[in-house]
Amino acid sequence: MNHLQLVYAPHPIFKQKALPIDKVDDEIRVLIDKMLKTLYVEGAVGIGANMVGLLKRIAVVDLQEDGVRNPRVFINPKITWYSEEKQTFKESSVCFLGIEAEVTRPRAIGMSYLDYDGNNQELEAEGFLATVIQHEVDYLDGKVFLDHLSKLRRDTLMKKMEKYIKMHPPHIHGAHCHH
């Protein structure tokens, strides 16, 4: 299998902090390649390593605008600044099935990270890309998009998700898959 299995909520890994990567080597690049494959198989725009059961500070993002793949790899991402201006997008997750919620976040961010080759990089992002990056970095920090909501709203959505999963159990990839 050249991609990774998603972890589905509720799961304790979503409350855990991912650990920094000491050295970007071939082993880490193989993991990144598998995370990207998972992102495409699942039709996601971003995946933090916690989502595939790994407590490593790695996130992959590809908005696939106009159907064009443009993968971005963020190792040890650190958001260095947030804009005062906010924006709201409907957020969901391939690990939280059947639910979505409007989440308000800073409209623009600055970040530092290591790239696929282990080089130091900086990025300024705004709009949807900024939201996706914040969403994935939250995963690495032991937070999920539901943590931005009131307890009542979060509990309501978790109940809705549990009902959804009973009706539509997640697809567990295996030997008989055609992905």
* Residue numbers annotated as active site: 136
CB 31 within 8 A of CB 59: no
Rg of the chain in Å (alpha carbons): 16
Task: Determine contact, residues 57/140, Cβ cutoff 8 Å.
Answer: yes
CB atoms within 10 A of CB 2: 10
3 and 32 in contact (C-beta within 8 Å)? Answer: no
Of 132, 129, 133, 159, give the one whose Cα is nearest residue 80. 133
Helix (H, G, I), strand (E, B) or coil at 91: strand
| 135 φ/ψ angles, rounded to the nearest 5 degrees | -60, -45
Rounded Cα distance between 157 and 146, Å, is 8
